[in-house]
Structure 1
Amino acid sequence: MGSSVETLEFQAETRQLLRLVIHSIYSNKDIFLRELISNASDALDKLRLESLTDSDLAADTSDLHIALEVDPDARTLTVRDNGIGMSRDELVDLIGTIAKSGTAGLLEKIKESKDAAAAQSLIGQFGVGFYSAFMVADRVTLRTRRAGGEAGTRWESDGEGTYELQAVDGLPVGTSVTLHLKPADSEDGLADYLAEWKIRQIVKQYSDFIRWPIRMATERTDAEGATTRETDTLNSMKALWARPRSEVTEAEYHEFYQQISHDWLEPAATVHMRAEGTFEYEALLFIPAQAPFDLFSRETKRGVQLYVKRVFIMDDCEALMPNYLRFVKGVVDAHDLSLNVSREILQQDRQIRGVRRRLVKKVLGAIKEMQTKDAERYATLWSQFGRVLKEGLIEDADSTDALLELVSAASTHDPEGTTTLRAYVERMKDGQDAIYYLTGETRAMVENSPHMEAFAAKGYEVLILTDPVDEVWVEQVQAFDGHRLQSIAKGQVDLDEPADGDDQDAGAEKARREQDFAALLQWLTAALSEQVKQVRLSSRLTTSAACIVGDAHDMTPTLEKMYRAMGQEMPPVKRILELNPTHPLIMALRTAHQADAADPALPEIAELVYGGALLAEGGDLPDPARFTRLLTDRLTRTL
């Protein structure tokens, strides 16, 4: 038998907060059911824990569950649990007075907030998600009885100025929240929340992995028109990430991966981890076997799904996964976040940044393990994701060492295969201190570059880097395992290895050669001043007449093109023309210059030498028509 009804008023600040919660904060009204189910799940968790620690509680935990009840005639939706329940004092403390301390501060922060998402996260921090029910209901009735208590309590409010409290006898242990939904013809259009399909959809999206069964009575009509009533469990409760890895089969992992990725291939690797301590979470991540078609699209979504205590929060949580791991799929279930946390808050959260670092370490570790144990599988993975993984060498300084261990590249060591940097270092020649590489558009173009000649002749291995991202990361990383990365198309290269006692003779020969060509080099530098900043002799050429190189810190032509393609104006970079002093053309050019430095044919020959070197490295001629005309004229004269 119930007692008299007690009517209490909300504080003025609390009324303001209620209006914000109901009308301004939540952009998605479906959230109300997620909030109520989450509260019910917490109540079941608390009852189970308290029954284990309090032998006198005498609570029935044999069938803990959440029930959803729909009454279309009364337009009510009830969320019921047989969890811990609340006493009258707990009810007033937890629900009767919203944010009993700090309400004024919360309101001030919300007013200062620039957008609804940030405001929503603030609301979530104060734990008032229960009041999202008033978005869809014009009246809410809550009945509850605490485990171990005798009397129950009814709480009711229309979300305006007051709420009612009444002691009620005979209530079962637990809590029921009944929403008296707004009229179907209201401007909010709320009729769907009584529909079975809509309730199933919300539960599937937000609460499918809640550990307790969520049940609802449904009616089924058979072919003969007979109606039967049965109780369905709406959620799967199969949160694989919450189970020990030893208890999950590969088939279960594959099935779950298919659900979240829509990829019917088996994942290349699975990362299942649990972190305990100040910030607890579970993670179940998958590395796909094949790159998605939109991997390099600007619109591609990235990040993993975020759950809080098995309650779905958001897809594509970018704060948990860096851009270069955008192909990773999976779930992170955090225990200590608000259900209403926003993307903006996540990006600023120090603990989330710590979680991200650990997830990255685990993913890269899984790829490294594959590299060590299954080279063929790793080679396939690198062919799919190597280009995007190398973006991490530019974006993630903390993971540089781990990423460098994974880098795989074509090399002159193997005409068809690839090599790791570690394997390259193990093959380095005695006395070699640099890892040599050359960038270019294709492997064939790089292999046939004049820059390769001396390295091939002397047996030095050169990495062949053809991905656009290679142009950037080699400049930023600069070294691996103590060995500097050196482009063979930049700076001075001297691969001469004189025998003991021959150093002096080699030095004298080099000095004599430079003196012999000094006049020609000076003249060519002046004649080609619009195109190059210097002409010098080369020690990297064996068969070609000339090549073009950059200074040690110059931007490469390919990188220059990339920046211009992105709309960035780049000042032109003059490079260096190197001549092969033993080539017949260069020797004949020196002889002609010595005979008659004013010969009008010499400037044209200089242009042809420069243009040929430019074409040999895959460069673009500034004036292709002029180059063709000069070449045709010169050939004609020789016939």
Structure 2
Amino acid sequence: MTQESTTMESERHVFQADVARLLHLMVHSIYSERDIFLRELISNAADACEKLRYEANSNPSLLGEGESFAIRVILNAENGTLAVEDNGVGMAREDLTTALGTIANSGTRVFLEKMTASGKGAAELIGQFGIGFYSAFMVADRVVVETRRAGEDVAWRWSSDGKGEFEISPLALEDAPRHGSRVVLHLNEDSKAYLEPGRVESIIGEHSSAVATPIDLLDTPTAEPRRLSEGAALWTKPKSEITEEQYREFYQELSGQFDSPALTVHWRAEGRAEYAVLAFVPGSRPFDLFDPARKGRTKLYSRRVLISRDSDLLPGYLRFVRLVVDSPDLPLNVSREMVQESPLFAAIKKGVTNRLLQELGKLAEMDREKFLTIWKNFGAVIKEGLYEDPERRDPLLKMARFATTTSQDGTRTLADYVSALRPNQTAIYYLVGENAERIAASPQLEGFRARGIEVLLLSDPVDAFWVQTAAGVDGKPFKSATQGAADIKTVELLDGAKKPDEPASAFADLISRAKETLATVVEDVRISDRLSESLACLVAPEFGPDLRLQQILAAHGQSAMDMKPVLEINPAHPLVISLETLMKRSESELFEDAVWLIFDEARLLDGAPPNDASAFAARLTRILSKALAT
């Protein structure tokens, strides 16, 4: 910088840095909203109080008798000013030059070049250039700082319009704080709304209510102060000092809901990454849980100052958790995007996710009823992690609850399932569909019921995807009840289950003719192990997506490689016996009509329309005409 005047009364300094360029970059690349200026000034004031508290440990005379630290925000609508005042350590004249003048540091141009080039590495540089303080120029035409260093008998005024110069001049002691700083913003015309007490109170409550120093608001310079924050963040207190009612009130403020949390988790992590966490699982499902545009309620703080209200600290499948994380190691004066690119943020995200899953898993084991309430509200979302987060699939599978053919209330665990495996059962069978009741009525399940084999009834959209990639449990793979050969003949039928009168080989000619008739629409026709009552059903080939996944892909315009289904028929059904007789009488047209109707009936049972509606109607008419004529 260059000094234009060296008089003791006043000194004017010219910024050598391109201030306009820096402020433009700050507004558009670092700060995402103008409200942040107040957070930054309050954060600086809180830091000043912390510094004086530290210095007073070795020099108690710096503090007055019985004086407590506080930050005051003073509104003056008549003069168009907003002031942030603290009774912290204050600044000497040299501090004003080095702390508020570092924007003129010769390295600023290097900083600008790095920021403009990529934005990478800025987190380590921003704090060196006083950018947090200079956010005030987003809303002010002029900024004045009146300050007195604790223990000194002189005071100073710093002022600038942020366009090229700043001035430092002596300040009469009667006009200065006893110690501390007063930052006065002369608001520009576009920022007069910051003189409204309600607006300012809302901003402080949102961004700075957790700072370590109490905050008072004065609606006018002569008004009585209103205490907005007591200077104690709930998550910084020991759990033993917090009541359930305090947790509940904080949860309701954080979540915007009026229920009570189903689970509260509060801990402090130490080591390479230091941070405090307060997390809540809501007691009821938010109405917008499945809204793709929905933002999480995860607040990230650094030294009790809000950095982001919707940081991506949790994976999407835990988006229902309401969360506060506070780390003293995170930089303050950076954008949400920059914070989330840092290795520290990644370490905190990993640690928080792992701990929450541990707590959910512990609850699932220790209090099944309480966990079931959480699962009924959020299980469909948690299961997204089975597909999106393979590294954590095992703990997620352990806590997962399912509806099955033996227990449709959605309370069965995979451990419960495995403990009930039938002799010779080699897989964990599942069936995917739109809802558990409809799935339970599927004809493909008849053979499993006849053998007492339990089947998972998977009715959430993500179920069709995660089961394709999950390895299984205790050496038992997941296998779709509608894909490939059922492979359940080695499991004995239960007493009373109906067995076919003829062996499968007796229907070889019938199967061959039916396969020839349906060659254009099916991959194969075979005798079924799945069916015990229904006439026929469709299943997917051994390899590739099962029927439900094919339907989902088709609904989204994606082809499943034009895979044809397999038609399975029940050899014990009376109509199959009649079809065998019809084939032997060489009534080819009637036989083909019957086979096509069987195929279309199987499609209808799967919720799909006939393959060709007009052809279906014509065949049905011919069959009915023949039947009614005899």
Task: Confirm or deny a common fold (TM above 0.5).
Answer: yes
Give the aligned partner of residue 616 of structure 1: 605
Q: Tell me, in whole angstroms, the C-alpha distance in 2 between the residues paired with 1:553 and 1:173.
A: 80
For the 8 Å contact 1:147–1:174, the answer to whether it is kept is: yes
Give the aligned partner of residue 184 of structure 2: 179
Give the aligned partner of residue 216 of structure 2: 215
Shift of 1:119: 9.2
- CA offsets, 1:131-174, max 9 Å, x none? 12223333333233434555544433332333233466756564
Unaligned runs of 5+ residues in structure 1 are 221-227, 500-509
Q: Does 1:633 align with 2:622?
A: yes
When residues 229 and 364 of structure 1 are mapped into structure 2, their CA distance, relative to the original with a 3 A threshold, is same
Q: 2:483 aligns to what SS in structure 1?
A: coil
Q: Give the aligned residue type for 1:489.
A: T
Give the aligned partner of residue 433 of structure 2: 440
Report matched runs for 1:27-176 at 5 Å: 28-52=33-57, 54=58, 58-60=62-64, 62-72=67-77, 74-98=79-103, 100=105, 102-112=107-117, 126-149=129-152, 151-166=154-169, 170=173, 174-176=179-181
Give the aligned partner of residue 387 of structure 1: 380
When residues 475 and 219 of structure 1 are mapped into structure 2, their CA distance, relative to the original with a 3 A threshold, is same
When residues 38 and 199 of structure 1 are mapped into structure 2, their CA distance, relative to the original with a 3 A threshold, is same
When residues 100 and 433 of structure 1 are mapped into structure 2, their CA distance, relative to the original with a 3 A threshold, is farther
Report matched runs for 1:591-610 at 5 Å: 591-594=581-584, 596=586, 599-610=588-599
Q: Tell me, in whole angstroms, the C-alpha distance in 2 between the residues paired with 1:392 and 1:372.
A: 19
Give the aligned partner of residue 506 of structure 1: none
Q: Does 1:10 align with 2:15?
A: yes
Give the aligned partner of residue 253 of structure 2: 259
Give the aligned partner of residue 265 of structure 2: 271
Q: Does 1:548 align with 2:542?
A: no
Unaligned runs of 5+ residues in structure 2 are 1-6, 493-499
Q: Tell me, in whole angstroms, the C-alpha distance in 1 between the residues paired with 2:104 and 2:268.
A: 32
Give the aligned partner of residue 552 of structure 2: 562
Q: Give the aligned residue type for 1:348.
A: E
For the 8 Å contact 2:482–2:547, the answer to whether it is kept is: no
Report matched runs for 1:176-325 at 5 Å: 176-182=181-187, 188-218=189-219, 229-317=223-311, 319-325=312-318
- CA offsets, 1:403-443, max 9 Å, x none? 11121111122255531111111222344331111122333
When residues 567 and 348 of structure 1 are mapped into structure 2, their CA distance, relative to the original with a 3 A threshold, is farther
1:458 corresponds to which of 451, 457, 461: 451
When residues 543 and 29 of structure 1 are mapped into structure 2, their CA distance, relative to the original with a 3 A threshold, is closer
For the 8 Å contact 1:22–1:134, the answer to whether it is kept is: no
Shift of 1:490: 1.1
Q: Give the aligned residue type for 2:509.
A: A
When residues 23 and 638 of structure 1 are mapped into structure 2, their CA distance, relative to the original with a 3 A threshold, is closer
When residues 21 and 413 of structure 1 are mapped into structure 2, their CA distance, relative to the original with a 3 A threshold, is closer
Q: Tell me, in whole angstroms, the C-alpha distance in 2 between the residues paired with 1:545 and 1:636.
A: 22
Q: 2:142 aligns to what SS in structure 1?
A: strand
Q: 1:604 aligns to what SS in structure 2?
A: helix
Q: Tell me, in whole angstroms, the C-alpha distance in 1 between the residues paired with 2:235 and 2:615.
A: 67
Report matched runs for 1:505-520 at 5 Å: 513=503, 515-520=505-510
Shift of 1:370: 2.9
Identity of counterpart residues, as a percentage? Answer: 40
Give the aligned partner of residue 575 of structure 1: 565
Q: Tell me, in whole angstroms, the C-alpha distance in 2 between the residues paired with 1:447 and 1:12.
A: 72
Shift of 1:624: 3.6
Give the aligned partner of residue 409 of structure 1: 402
Shift of 1:353: 2.2
Normalising to structure 1: TM-score of the pair? 0.86
- CA offsets, 1:509-536, max 9 Å, x none? x9x9565433332332221011101112
Normalising to structure 2: TM-score of the pair? 0.87
Q: Give the aligned residue type for 1:294.
A: D
Aligned residues: 612
For the 8 Å contact 1:445–1:618, the answer to whether it is kept is: no
Q: Give the aligned residue type for 2:225.
A: T
Q: Tell me, in whole angstroms, the C-alpha distance in 1 between the residues paired with 2:413 and 2:305.
A: 42
Shift of 1:560: 2.5
- CA offsets, 1:315-369, max 9 Å, x none? 222x212222222123222322333433332442322222222222233233323
Shift of 1:124: 6.3
Q: Does 1:497 align with 2:499?
A: no
When residues 454 and 359 of structure 1 are mapped into structure 2, their CA distance, relative to the original with a 3 A threshold, is same
Shift of 1:593: 3.2
Q: 1:548 aligns to what SS in structure 2?
A: strand
Q: Tell me, in whole angstroms, the C-alpha distance in 2 between the residues paired with 1:239 and 1:33.
A: 19
Q: Tell me, in whole angstroms, the C-alpha distance in 2 between the residues paired with 1:250 and 1:498.
A: 53
When residues 415 and 141 of structure 1 are mapped into structure 2, their CA distance, relative to the original with a 3 A threshold, is closer
Q: Which moved more, 1:56-65 or 1:409-418?
A: 56-65
Give the aligned partner of residue 469 of structure 2: 476
Q: Does 1:589 align with 2:579?
A: yes
Shift of 1:594: 4.5
For the 8 Å contact 1:21–1:123, the answer to whether it is kept is: no
Q: Tell me, in whole angstroms, the C-alpha distance in 2 between the residues paired with 1:126 and 1:277.
A: 29
Q: Give the aligned residue type for 1:580.
A: N
Q: Give the aligned residue type for 2:268.
A: R
- CA offsets, 1:45-98, max 9 Å, x none? 12223333x357754484111123345555443322222233443332222122
For the 8 Å contact 1:121–1:342, the answer to whether it is kept is: no
Q: Give the aligned residue type for 2:622.
A: D
For the 8 Å contact 2:538–2:566, the answer to whether it is kept is: yes
Q: Tell me, in whole angstroms, the C-alpha distance in 2 between the residues paired with 1:31 and 1:326.
A: 25
When residues 600 and 203 of structure 1 are mapped into structure 2, their CA distance, relative to the original with a 3 A threshold, is closer
Give the aligned partner of residue 367 of structure 1: 360
For the 8 Å contact 1:120–1:341, the answer to whether it is kept is: yes
When residues 124 and 635 of structure 1 are mapped into structure 2, their CA distance, relative to the original with a 3 A threshold, is farther
